[in-house]
Amino acid sequence: MTRQGWTANSPLESERFAWLDTISVPVQKSWHALFGANKGTMYAKNVLNGVPWRHRVHPAIIIWPLGAWTTAALLDTLDGVTSRNGTSQYRASADASVAFGLVGAVPTALAGWADWVDQYGHQRRVGMAHALTNITAIALYAASMGLRMPGMERRRTARVLAGLGYAIVGAGGVLGGELVYNLGVNIPHVLYPKAPVKWTDVLASEELPVGEPVVVDVERVPVMLLRHEGNIYAAESWCPHAGGPLNEGKFEGCIVECPWHQSRFDLRDGHPLQGPAATLLRMFEAREESGRISVKPSYEAEEWPPAPAPPAERPALAPQ
């Protein structure tokens, strides 16, 4: 049996972080109750989701706190360098930027919660980690703001706290990228089919010659198999960059190059070796027994919940 190594793009997909789910479930229920409380809160959620503009609000509005805090980081640095005699011309602007970012963090966070409330599985878990990271950053900025106030002023500590907050906002951004690019949050699940978490018999041994990739369909997921030096390697044949057909790419041993934009991957563990793809291939374990080959997802698998049953009768459309 061929067993691939580390194949999750984020450590958060590992069961070690299952504790995040125990927080997520009650928090999500509370947001559901809040957003669904009455027509006004449901309308507010629509606005936060971006329904009136037909565009998500959260990724657009993030520029408000992020821009303000980037400005604050620059002004704090200039303040630190030029304020040896006690004050500087940059101080008031730095403080205003921190405060402006804190104000902007409120609608940004609300828009994020409004998007997160309808997620589940790894998306919900990584979304919770993203939220906790950003809450930590906001708390640091709030503490920094407090230490800039007249009477409580501790300028150096305030600058350090703001710097830490800025770094943590960056970590939150990494998790936000993970949600969008790797987990396909708010992208129709039909575009991200998942193979069933079980062994699936796919091929007779003689149908997989040495060095020639073969693609099999595992419940709508195309899985590419390659026999090389006595091992069978198996991975989704969609390139994680933009879905190029890897089985039509160039092969050098167990290295494959995508035919669309030339990303290269090592089929032994799915790691990208050359961009533009920057994420792992979704790998499968493969086993060969009694002349048959079977595969099973080797990533920390999760399955979408079953689709809800369609209504018995279609509701009548409103008159145009």
Q: Which residues bind ligand FES (CB under 6 A)?
A: 239, 241-244, 258, 260-261, 263, 276-277
CB of 9 to ligand FES, least distance (A): 16
Rounded Cα distance between 4 and 297, Å, is: 10
The nearest distance, CB 213 to ligand FES, in angstroms, is: 15
Q: Exposed, middle or buried by CB within 10 Å (0-12, 13-18, 19+), for 255?
A: middle
Q: To the nearest 10°, report the CA torsion of 24, 25, 30, 33.
A: 130
Phi, psi of 68 (to 5 degrees): -65, -40
Residue closer to ligand FES by CB (options 170, 177) is 177
Angle, nearest 10°, between helix axes 63-82 and 91-116? 150
| Closer CB to ligand FES, 53 or 192, in the complex | 192
Closer Cβ to ligand FES, 11 or 243, answer by number: 243
Residue 298 C-beta: closest distance to ligand FES, Å? 21
Residue with token string 């999500």: 28
Tell me the three state secondary structure of residue 253. coil
Nearer to ligand FES, 36 or 243 (CB): 243
Q: In terms of CB distance, is 37 or 242 closer to ligand FES?
A: 242
**Cβ at position 264, least distance to ligand FES in Å:** 9
* 129 versus 277: smaller Cβ distance to ligand FES: 277
DSSP string, 150-209: TTT--HHHHHHHHHHHHHHHHHHHHHHHIIIIIT-TTS-GGGS----SS-EEEEEGGGS-
Q: Which is nearer to ligand FES, 249 or 297 (CB)?
A: 249
Question: 222 with 236: CB under 8 angstroms?
Answer: yes
Burial label, 215 (beta-carbon count in 10 A; 0-12, 13-18, 19+) = middle
- By CB atoms closer than 10 A (0-12, 13-18, 19+), residue 94 is buried
